[in-house]
Homo-oligomer: A and B are copies of this chain.
Amino acid sequence: MSGITLQQLAEMVGGQVVGDAQTTVFEALPLQDAANDCLTLIDGAQNVSRVNASQAVAVVTTEAYPQCDKPMLVVTDLHASFAQISQIFRPPQALPASGVDVSASVDSSARIGQGVSIGPGVTIGADCHVGEGCVLHSGVHLLAGCRLGSDCTLFPNVTLYDNTQLGDRVIVHAGCVLGAFGFGYQQRDGFHVRGAQLGWVQVEDDCEIGANTTIDRGTYGKTRIGRGTKIDNLVQIGHNCHIGQHNIICAQVGIAGSSSTDDHVVLAGQVGVVDHTHVGARVRVGAQAGIMRDVEPDQTVFGSPAIPRK
């Protein structure tokens, strides 16, 4: 990539140059990665000294800091502008083309919408419906009876067990497993005998599910992930759980069977929730906390067993 002057960038993304507008930059990188000839960004005066000491030749900010040694491109929306500039230097990779790869196996009873992209090695079982505009990357496997709304993206090696249901615009990251058997057994003569596995997983519109996360099917009905909820990597959600809308569930959280959350709950990393427990609306739970009983709405709780913040 040849270089671009600050003046040119200001014209492309909007903003004012303070300092030498002919300064030429060849890459856009965050401060911790800043290398020779790059543009970087800071979101406050406390980082000016790090910029001055860095190899960056210019900086994007929302304010002209007098103590800053480098030319500044002053913009209104720091992250929108820096994202736009980053993509000038590193254009996004093309999305997979629509169509069905020759190596995919699509059951003849499956219904595939307009403009769907089905990658190499994908398998789609009997009676699946895949809505328009979905992208199924290589190695995705849909067992029989799955239903996907429109514009979902499934990254490589995702597995949906039979009858999994996704709404519209759901993103499922690589390696996720939705709909595996719940972990429920009855003891019989010292043996553990598996209970019924007749339910399914239902993920509502606009959810995003992180890499290698697992969500088990319900016993007779659904395990539900409410609209707009975002789930990070390596999370476990047990059978029959009902997760509310617009939750934030961070990495490595585990929620045991038949528990539920109301809307706008935030669970930090490695939180555990025992089975048959309810977490009220807008509750915030600190990292590594253990929820051992119901939590009333609007609380912030910490520790294991979790208690409200003093």
A-side residues, CB < 8 A to B, are 28-30, 32-33, 41, 79, 82-83, 86-87, 90, 92-94, 101, 103, 105, 119-121, 123, 125-127, 137-139, 141, 143-145, 155-157, 159, 161-163, 171, 173-175, 177, 180-181, 183, 185, 190-192, 194-196, 198-199, 206, 208, 210-212, 214, 216, 218-222, 228, 230, 232-234, 236, 238, 240, 242, 246, 248, 250-252, 254, 256, 264, 268-270, 272, 274, 287-288, 290, 292, 304
A220 touching B30 in the complex, CB below 8 Å, given contacts A174-B159, A236-B233: yes
Q: Which label, helix, strand, loop or mixed, suits the secondary structure of the A interface? A: loop
A139 engages B157 (CB within 8 Å):
yes
Q: Taking A119-B123, A304-B304 as given, write out 20 further A-B residue pairs in contact, using a Cβ cutoff of 8 Å, ordered by the A residue number.
A: A33-B218, A79-B196, A82-B220, A86-B220, A87-B198, A93-B144, A93-B162, A121-B123, A121-B138, A155-B177, A155-B180, A157-B157, A175-B177, A177-B212, A183-B210, A211-B214, A214-B234, A214-B251, A234-B234, A238-B251
A177 engages B185 (CB within 8 Å):
no
A29 engages B220 (CB within 8 Å):
yes
CB of A67 to closest CB in B, whole Å: 23
B94 engages A105 (CB within 8 Å):
no
CB of A300 to closest CB in B, whole Å: 15
A86 engages B198 (CB within 8 Å):
yes
B138 engages A105 (CB within 8 Å):
yes
CB of A78 to closest CB in B, whole Å: 11
CA distance A248 to B163 in the complex (A): 27
Q: Which residues of B contact A214 (CB under 8 A)?
A: 175, 210-212, 233-234, 251
Closest B-chain residue to A93, C-beta based? B144
Pairs of residues from A and B, 8 with the lowest C-beta to C-beta distance, nearest first: A33-B221, A93-B144, A177-B211, A159-B174, A141-B156, A214-B233, A180-B211, A236-B251
A206 engages B234 (CB within 8 Å):
no
Q: Which residues of B contact A222 (CB under 8 A)?
A: 33
